[in-house]
Chains A and B, each alone.
Chain A
Amino acid sequence: MRLLKLALLCCVLIVGAYAIYHYQIKGKNSTEGPLASGTPQASAMSTTVSCQGADHVITNGAAIPHLPDASMIASEDISVESLQCSFDAYSWDLFLALNHDADGALVTGGSDDPTVWESWAESSYIFLPDGATPASTDGSFPPRNVPAECAGLHDGAMKIVLQIGKRPDVLEEFTEPFQSGPLIDANGHYSRFAISVNQSMYDYILDNELYNKAGQKTFSQAGNEVNFSCSCNEGTDADGNPICAQGGQQGAVMAKAAWKVIDTAKNDDPSLFHTVEALVFTEAAKDGSRPAMCEKQLVGLTGFHIAQKTSNDTQGLWSTFEHADNAPTKGQGADKPKYNYFNPDCADCNAVNEPPAQPWNPDDQPLSDARIGDRSQIERVIAIHQDTDAMNAQVQSELLAGTVWANYELVSTQWPTAPTAPNAAPTAATNWCSAINEVDKSGNPAPAFLANTTLETYIQGTVPQASSSCINCHLNATMTDGQFSDFTYLLERARGP
């Protein structure tokens, strides 16, 4: 019976592969890498979280995990709930690795340095206005494409010039902000969004000329389908065939961030956020009614998605984090004095989880105090699972105490439960990805719905297709020619000929 084989294969992939190969890389992490930097450690290096009866080690390491590890789960205990623990532990490993200082220093007490992912290629300089080749000759990222309005503000000493809120012709995600509504914080500032990709993903876009429309068309017409590389750990399958590149490989990773303006006049406390000085750019109105604008502002991270393709999870693993003070959870009371996107006591606030009224005009901000009803009033609709909550608390106190990162929490990790087709073994030709499940390309994700209150603010429900589900939604992502873009909306930003 073929299906039985399929089911077994899935199990082998999920359980076996994670068990064997992920374990190795963990071993590697603990002996080499940034520990040598000698930075004094305020926090422990790792912590063991007990979840659904199995122990998961979460490591404050610098190596980006390639695969989740489910080896600690006994086969008879395999279930959505127990596997979720593995995926969540993996998400924290990933978060810790990506939020290291770009030069490799670990998250340490009091520190708030620029991070690994902030050094990645941001969409606005991959997809240039005329579709030009991003200027990279040596494999390094091209210089940022600073709009003229921002150029004067650019301070050479600024550690990072983050050019966010630049609205391309096509937003990478339709749900947020401007089509379904902007996210306006409790102080009346518009939140901003930015996407960046790692070297692997960037190289794929560059190598295949997917950074402009013509290149995408040529690519499709030659019969290709976008397939970014998958992360995997070196090893062989039962028949001795390699299942990954030599030495393992870091596949495509995407990070999407939501930022809010830190308004100290309104009592925002910068020490509670990962912050950067940024150049906040607002494009000119299409009808010419207002010019482009650029402002230098201190912004704080409020939402953070990471998506990584792995050799088992062709649809990607979707980890989503938030600042702990973003919004109360529906039905659980609003017990904090202050939230980023919720006003605990106001009679005239906008209806909960409804977009602010039109017109949406980001250069008319911050909104005056009188316009209290024009801000977002947000609640989390689906509560964070208690296992995840417990894991968050432990990581925050044991690994992150004293750093800004202790204010961030994992909402959940979405993963495909039936990711692949029969006989789907990864090969070099498939960039070490398993072939996708052709019956249901979404791979029937768990949890079925997942929303970040800053990134899928207005569709947090549980209605198939209409509510936020990372994988189901990104399955609809295409290039500018309508062809499948492998779970990223980035490629639809391509311009030019």
Chain B
Amino acid sequence: MSDPDYDIIIVGAGVAGPIIAKELSQAGAKILIIEGGPETPPTNREEYMSNFLLNTVKTLESPYPPGMGANPAKEATPRATIAQTFGNNVSPTWHADLGAGNYIYNADVSYLLQEGPQPFLSGYKRITGGTTWHWLGTSLRFLEHDFTMKSTYGADDPDYPMPDWPIVVDDLLDAYGRAEHEIGVSADVSIQTKELAQIGLKYSDGYSYPMQEIPPSVLDVQIAAALNGFQNFINFEGQQVFVTSTPAGRNSQPDGNRRTCAGNTNCIPICPIQAKWDGTVTLAGAQSTGNVTFKSQCVVTKVVSAGYGQPVTGIEYIHWENGPTKITKSEPITATAKIYVIAAHAIETPKLMLMSDMGNGQTVANSSDQMGRNLMDHPLYLSWSLMPEQIFGFRGPLATSGIESLRDGPFRSDRAAWRCEIGNEGWNFAIGDPWTTVSDFVDGKNASHTNANMDRLFGAGLIEQLNSHFTRQWRMGFLVEQTPEADSRVTINRDNGIVDGLHLPRPVINYKLSEYTRRGFASAEVFSRQVYQMLGATNFTRNAQNLTAADGTEFPNPVWFENPDRDMFEALPDALKAPELCANGQAVPDGFTYFGAGHLVGTYRMGSVARTSVVDSHSRSWDHSTLFLVGDGVFPTITTANPTLTLAALAMRTADAIKAQLATTL
């Protein structure tokens, strides 16, 4: 066999790919990075920013190619459009039509083919830099018990849904530090540990973050003043609550030739000044070594191997370009290396692997039949309200603090934990403000539910009404830890005839939220009522059970599910049943709606045995020793923390393993 072209081939230039490339190119390895999407030189920020400013709908995907509303069948790298973008495009009969080749969302709009029973609501970005173009930057560490859920909370319960990880938190402490320095995380260890030691947040001795913490917002301070130290939250007996500053991959001082955060309040969908770290920063670091070859607009279509136990012998990719009328694409091109790293994120990685047929009826790295299973997200419960005092939202980074102190506790034996993100963006996420409320008070409508008198205002009266609302709006976002489910999964279907612009099959998604997960929503609603009671705030949350079609008929909202625990609410004291504290004004809610958090996790899980997992604790395939599948797809559980810091730390660990492997075998 001839010499391979490179030491390492890395597929995907988001977070995991560039980190591994940087670590190993600095050590002298010759690396090829293959990225499916277009290159994004610094100049592209102008174009993306312009798209954002001029788009009427400023969703997280609004700045980026392909254009909003592009048909995924015609795009080389269509995006997984988030469901909110479809608005009322859902067919009123979606529910009845499911199965039999029908999907929740129209395949002309939705790249992901959603078979349900519930929709998967998160998207990702397929351009150089990956999904970090529109990440928020939240960089929390996982907690001690996050790695040992089964042994800590379910040792005696054979049906307990959460597995242990093959590593414990101490295995990752150093790697966390390296990841925090690569990303450039702003936080303060003493503030983190003082309040959060009780939930098992750990650091190496003497550790300090690279940058000072981001200052809390006026809102954060007000909530902290009301809540800190309180320990009588229903369902969390004896656990103290604290509002803490959120570690963020966002500059609190000049760093890495990038500016200090100026509080543009726009981390999602685009930081106009790149104060927020993104994958292109680390990629540029890797490229500056001169050891990295970078190919963009090259979609990897196959990983080649002769069988389980055999090495990977190459990868195939297609180079594409946007022609004047349609996409032009190359024949498949083969590239070879000593080591292969797939860093294409938790939907494209399993899709690629399931496309990688070995000619014997088997696909690469799937002897366990776990490939694509256990797809997870943080289903997000959004609760929004008006404060009695002005707290001046819509200022500063989208979120600067959160309530982390309830992320762990004995309750995890029977219901989902969550972290609560405090939003500095008023009701932007919640109802699309300022657009909705302004339109209400100018047009005399009540879409916001705050203009019951249907007032039509102008002049000073309009200013005062808007000021009064906008400076009091705020929201909490609860990131609920969902359980891994074998049949929440990514598959491909070569027979349905639905492909992307390169004629590749599209991911088919099955997804559902378990009872354990849904119970986390119930506890979030109870918690928010107590918070509103303490603050004197009025709850305006609406969980819409039905949507209204153009002809006025109502049909089930795909993102609504029934309240899993009516008893929890029946048992509440009357004061917590007052309509102004309750979502929908319902003392006992009929149900809840959920959003996606953009956290796609779990489809090629790591484990300590090959039979039940896809990769080992270094993200190496059990089936092929030269293949590494990296990113948050390896997480056995999603925990309550945003995933990127941990996937970055795991990438550091993988880089070390690859370095060792290259040194010994070659």
Interface residues, chain A, CB within 8 Å of chain B? 170-171, 174-175, 178-181, 287, 289, 353-355, 358-361, 458-459, 461, 463-467, 475-482, 489, 492
List 4 tightest A-B contacts by C-beta distance, closest first.
A465-B272, A358-B287, A179-B257, A466-B49
Interfacial residues of chain B within 233-274, with CB under 8 A of chain A in the complex: 251-260, 262, 264, 272-274
Chain A nearest Cβ from B218, distance in angstroms: 16
Interfacial residues of chain B within 267-295, with CB under 8 A of chain A in the complex: 272-275, 284, 287-290, 292, 294
Q: What B residues does A171 contact at CB under 8 A?
A: 257
Chain B nearest Cβ from A464, distance in angstroms: 7
Q: What A residues does B49 contact at CB under 8 A?
A: 463-466
B212 interface hit (Cβ, 8 Å): yes
Q: What A residues does B289 contact at CB under 8 A?
A: 287, 289, 359
Q: What B residues does A467 contact at CB under 8 A?
A: 46
Residue of A nearest to B47 (CB): A463
Contact B41 A181 (CB under 8 A): yes
B664 interface hit (Cβ, 8 Å): no
Interfacial residues of chain B within 546-591, with CB under 8 A of chain A in the complex: none
Chain A nearest Cβ from B164, distance in angstroms: 38
Contact B254 A475 (CB under 8 A): no
Interfacial residues of chain B within 618-643, with CB under 8 A of chain A in the complex: none
Q: Which of B50, B258, B259, B290 contacts A466 (CB 8 A)?
A: B50
Q: What B residues does A353 contact at CB under 8 A?
A: 43
B45 interface hit (Cβ, 8 Å): yes
B534 interface hit (Cβ, 8 Å): no
Chain A nearest Cβ from B253, distance in angstroms: 4
Contact A179 B42 (CB under 8 A): yes
Q: Which of B46, B212, B288, B292 contacts A360 (CB 8 A)?
A: B288
Chain A nearest Cβ from B7, distance in angstroms: 17
Contact B53 A463 (CB under 8 A): yes
Per-position 1/0 for B589-611, Cβ under 8 A of A: 00000000000000000000000
CA distance A478 to B261 in the complex (A): 10
Contact A354 B50 (CB under 8 A): no
Contact B46 A170 (CB under 8 A): no
CA distance A175 to B26 in the complex (A): 24
Per-position 1/0 for B120-154, Cβ under 8 A of A: 00000000000000000000000000000000000
CA distance A178 to B212 in the complex (A): 25
CA distance A392 to B251 in the complex (A): 41
Contact B212 A287 (CB under 8 A): no
CA distance A461 to B51 in the complex (A): 13
Q: What B residues does A459 contact at CB under 8 A?
A: 42-43, 45-46
Please judge, given known A-B contacts A181-B41, A465-B273, whether A480 and B50 are in contact too, CB under 8 Å.
no
Chain A nearest Cβ from B413, distance in angstroms: 43
Contact A464 B53 (CB under 8 A): yes
Q: What A residues does B255 contact at CB under 8 A?
A: 170
Q: What B residues does A476 contact at CB under 8 A?
A: 259-260, 262, 273, 275
Chain B nearest Cβ from A181, distance in angstroms: 7
Q: What A residues does B259 contact at CB under 8 A?
A: 174, 476-478
Contact B42 A465 (CB under 8 A): no
Contact B257 A354 (CB under 8 A): no
Q: Which of A170, A289, A355, A359 contacts B43 (CB 8 A)?
A: A355
Residue of A nearest to B284 (CB): A358
Contact A463 B42 (CB under 8 A): no
Q: Which of A175, A355, A463, A492 contacts B41 (CB 8 A)?
A: A355
Residue of A nearest to B260 (CB): A478
CA distance A289 to B275 in the complex (A): 28
Task: Indicate the member of B212, B251, B253 with the most A CB atoms within 10 Å.
Answer: B253
Q: What A residues does B288 contact at CB under 8 A?
A: 358-360
Q: What B residues does A179 contact at CB under 8 A?
A: 42, 256-258, 284
Q: What A residues does B46 contact at CB under 8 A?
A: 459, 461, 463, 466-467
Chain A nearest Cβ from B259, distance in angstroms: 5
Q: What A residues does B42 contact at CB under 8 A?
A: 175, 179-181, 355, 458-459
Given contacts A179-B258, A482-B212, A492-B254, 10 further A-B contacts (CB under 8 A): A174-B257, A174-B259, A178-B257, A179-B42, A354-B41, A355-B41, A358-B287, A359-B290, A466-B273, A467-B46
29 contacting pairs across A/B (C-beta < 8 A): A170-B254, A170-B257, A178-B257, A179-B256, A180-B43, A353-B43, A354-B41, A354-B43, A355-B41, A355-B42, A358-B288, A359-B287, A359-B289, A360-B288, A459-B43, A459-B45, A459-B46, A461-B46, A464-B272, A465-B49, A465-B273, A466-B48, A475-B262, A476-B262, A476-B273, A476-B275, A479-B253, A480-B254, A489-B254
